[in-house]
């Protein structure tokens, strides 16, 4: 059975429908304020008011407050937690825009964990595929792009 989790990284205007949620920093507050129960709330919570932490704790099964002086981002910690717990599909929301360094790290997570970590926003659905032959389903996006990290051959059928 495939298990998936929606990881909310910051304030989202629309919370995706999911069975499982992980809230990261301000994303945990967004989930709590919308009455969404979280498997985990994680982050250094440096962008969350002290009074809001109790609200986050009330809506989370597990609460982990990270030291703000660290080598990994809060989103990396959330992804590693989800992988350790056996989640096969990890959907990141709110990981683009804002700080460029954080967006780059989130893109790197997609590349590091092919067919496991997916990055979503209102205009993009970003994921990576392991080596092999793949069929890609059409989605409601205007454009599609392909990139390779290594030397590779990409053959396309059914594209204009």
Q: In the chain, at which residue ranges do the beta strands (DSSP E only) sit?
A: 4-8, 21-24, 38-43, 60-65, 89-93, 117-120, 125-126
* Mean pLDDT along residues 50-73: 95
Query: How many other β-carbons are positioned within 10 Å of the β-carbon of residue 4?
Result: 15
Whether 87 and 4 have beta carbons less than 8 Å apart is answered as yes
The string of pLDDT tens digits covering residues 123-147 is 889 999 988 888 888 778 788 888 8
CATH topology of domain 4-126: Rossmann fold (3.40.50)
pLDDT at 137: 80
Q: Can you tell me the mean pLDDT for 88-99? A: 93
> Has residue 62 got a pLDDT over 60?
yes
Residue with tokens 């994680």, as numbered in its chain: 42
- Candidates 39, 36, 74; CA nearest to 55 is 36
- In this structure, of 2-11, 21-30, 111-120, 145-154, the range with the lowest mean pLDDT score is 145-154
Domain assignments of the chain as residue spans, ordered by start: 4-126
**Could you tell me the pTM of the whole model?**
0.92
Q: So what's the pLDDT on residue 1?
A: 56
Question: Which pLDDT score, from 0 to 100, does residue 97 have?
Answer: 83
């Amino acid at each position: 059975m495939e298990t998936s989790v929606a990881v909310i990284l910051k304030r989202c205007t629309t919370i995706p429908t999911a069975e499982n949620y992980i809230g990261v920093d301000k994303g945990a507050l967004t989930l709590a304020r919308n009455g969404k129960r979280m498997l985990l709330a994680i982050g250094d919570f440096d962008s969350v008011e002290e009074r809001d932490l109790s609200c986050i704790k009330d809506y989370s099964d597990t609460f982990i407050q990270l030291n703000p002086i660290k080598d990994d981002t809060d989103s990396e910690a959330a992804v590693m937690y989800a992988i350790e717990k056996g989640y096969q599909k990890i959907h990141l929301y709110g990981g683009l825009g804002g700080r460029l360094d954080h967006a780059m790290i989130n893109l790197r997570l997609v590349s590091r964990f092919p067919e496991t970590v997916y990055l979503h926003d209102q205009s993009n659905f970003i994921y990576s595929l392991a080596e092999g032959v793949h069929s890609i389903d059409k989605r409601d996006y205007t454009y599609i792009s392909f990139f390779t990290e290594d030397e590779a051959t990409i053959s396309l059928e059914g594209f204009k």
